[in-house]
Chain A
Amino acid sequence: MKSLIKKIYNSSKILKLRNTFGIKKNPIYLGKLKKNFYISDSFLWRTDNGFVTKFAFSDILKYFYQKKCLNFIIKFYDQDSLFLKDLIIDPLESKELIIDNKKSEFKNYGYFQIFSKLRNGSIDENLSNRCYVGYSKNNQNFSFVHGNSYTKAMSLIENENDFQSNLVQTSLTSNQNYYIQNDFKNLDYFELFFINPVNEKISLKIKDKDKVDINPNSVYKIKLKNYDLVSFKSNCCFLRPIVFCYKNGYLDAHHA
């Protein structure tokens, strides 16, 4: 009986109502994942305007479980969530990856997700490789940010291809406020990159700007200047942009 109530309480529709009316809000729900899922953020890559992206990840199965990883699977998408390619990386290879525009598919910007497969066996948990992404402009130093959300999960069992998405929750109305806790005054300008983490269209209203819709799993970029405080409203319960700040030709990337 207790587990049935819990199941109803955490069902998608009830979660949506809870998040809409602010009753025990749960912006990210991982309860529907059984064991052996590898959860990824949607990490931003960009090659526009002289940018190169560096991705750094680690072999968490080796470190935490002393188990052998079969491979890492990195799935690349463009800004409209059009699938670009899978990159399969052997665990003995480098855990750093450079994304630049030398390869024709990486034009402009988009996102990628990382999953991993276990060589035989299983574990009793779910894992999330939080990872780090660096952004270099005009071949200068990489400005790093860490992974910040949980977007999609894939089974880490060798021959299973189960996926779970919509881990981030939405509400029925655009009543989810977020105020970035930083002062953007005195910058030349700054850019915000929002990656829609769910398989449905979401709305976004940034301060005095017009409301926009972001298509499922797509990237929305906006350039701003002359703001001190930036806030936005959405129906997405966990929407955190990556922030690129510019001043005198220097760059600072951080998550919001």
Chain B
Amino acid sequence: MNFFFFLKDKNYSFNLTIPKFTNEGTNLKSLNLYSLKISKSENLTYWHCEKIAQSEEKFFKIDNSQYTKNTFFFIASEKILNQLFNKEKTEIRLIKNFLDTTPPFRANTKIFKNDHGFSSYQSEYPISMIMKKGSIATPVNMLLNPEAEINKIFFVNIFFKPVEEKFKYYLIDFKLKKILYSEYIYTNNVNIINLDKKYIKENIFFVTKDYLGIPIYFSDLNGHLSLEHTHPPHEYIFGKKKFQIIKKFKEDFGEIINKENI
């Protein structure tokens, strides 16, 4: 099972297209589209979930003007919906074997600039990622353009508890073993990070220590846009010790962070 999101930024428009079919062609018209966001009552912070009426035949379409930032989406049957949360809706539960396809079930997340260009990528946020804390380390330079007027990273985090907790991201020079920049971002948010082009260099990594997420890289040159995400490190290594190797790789960044924070 996957969750979906749209990006939001005042200078651009966004939309999300979720297919009503799997990539093998199985019809999913009996499933519903739901929005998901954090809600607060007097004593409780919980997940608020709403069914969205849709008329289109082949796709669910979501446009960012209809929803506030940090609204997430998923498709499910009533039965899956009833299993997805605990009683108080203070936790999302892991659902297995639902829309688990190869390659993964994806939506299309698109960004537009008025009277200019557009860019999109095939997106998904797997439920298994929602259930865990963790760290990420991914190179900054690969998908950005130092010649572009605007470079951003949209960092999406969805966590199973409905909390907006502050945590830091770091820009770290792996070669110099040095933090170049850090700032707070939030869980259960589509965080927008404006990136100075001086950081678009080899050996500079975008790093988080406390939470997982998907970094989506965006650049704008004369209204021509690019949007794409980087691969997580475990997709680079095949072997029994792969998670040990990745753990060590991430610990190297952890040591740099710990050393500089003393």
Contact = CB atoms under 8 A, between A and B. Distances in A.
B167 interface: no
Interface in B201-241: 202, 217, 219-226, 228-231, 233, 235-241
B249 interface: yes
B199 to A, nearest CB: 15
B82 to A, nearest CB: 26
Contact of A178 (B23, B240, B242): B23
Contacts, number: 145
B139 A58 contact: yes
Nearest to A148: B103
Contact of B249 (A63, A130, A254): A63
Given A63-B174, A125-B241, A132 B58 contact: no
Interface in A104-149: 124-130, 132, 134, 140-147
A30 interface: yes
B129 to A, nearest CB: 17
Interface in B1-51: 17, 19, 21-25
Interface in A62-80: 63-65
Interface in A15-62: 25, 27, 30, 33, 35, 39, 56, 58, 60
Given A58-B139, A63-B249, A128 B235 contact: yes
B249 A146 contact: no
Contact size range, A = 35 or more
Contact of B120 (A56, A60, A182, A228): A182
A151 B162 CA distance: 42
Interface residues of B, number: 57
A146 B230 contact: yes
Nearest to A233: B25
A183 interface: yes
B236 A64 contact: yes
B175 to A, nearest CB: 9
A250 B111 CA distance: 13
B198 interface: no
A211 B214 CA distance: 38
B136 interface: no
A247 interface: yes
Secondary structure dominating the interface of B: mixed
B103 A240 contact: yes
B237 A125 contact: yes
B17 A130 contact: no
Contact of B236 (A30, A129, A140, A145): A129
B23 A179 contact: yes
B121 A179 contact: no
A67 to B, nearest CB: 11
A256 interface: yes
B23 A252 contact: no
A144 B174 CA distance: 24
A199 interface: no
B228 A145 contact: yes
A181 interface: yes
Contact of A35 (B221, B230, B239, B245): B239
A246 to B, nearest CB: 10
Interface string A144-169: 11110000000000000000000000
30 contacts: A33-B238, A35-B239, A58-B139, A58-B202, A125-B237, A127-B236, A127-B238, A132-B228, A134-B145, A134-B226, A141-B219, A141-B222, A141-B224, A142-B226, A143-B224, A144-B226, A146-B230, A178-B23, A179-B21, A179-B24, A181-B23, A229-B58, A252-B110, A252-B117, A252-B118, A252-B119, A254-B108, A254-B119, A254-B122, A256-B122
Interface of A: 25, 27, 30, 33, 35, 39, 56, 58, 60, 63-65, 94-95, 124-130, 132, 134, 140-147, 177-183, 228-229, 231, 240, 245, 247, 250-252, 254-256
Smallest CB-CB A-B distances: 5 pairs: A125-B239, A250-B117, A141-B221, A141-B224, A140-B224
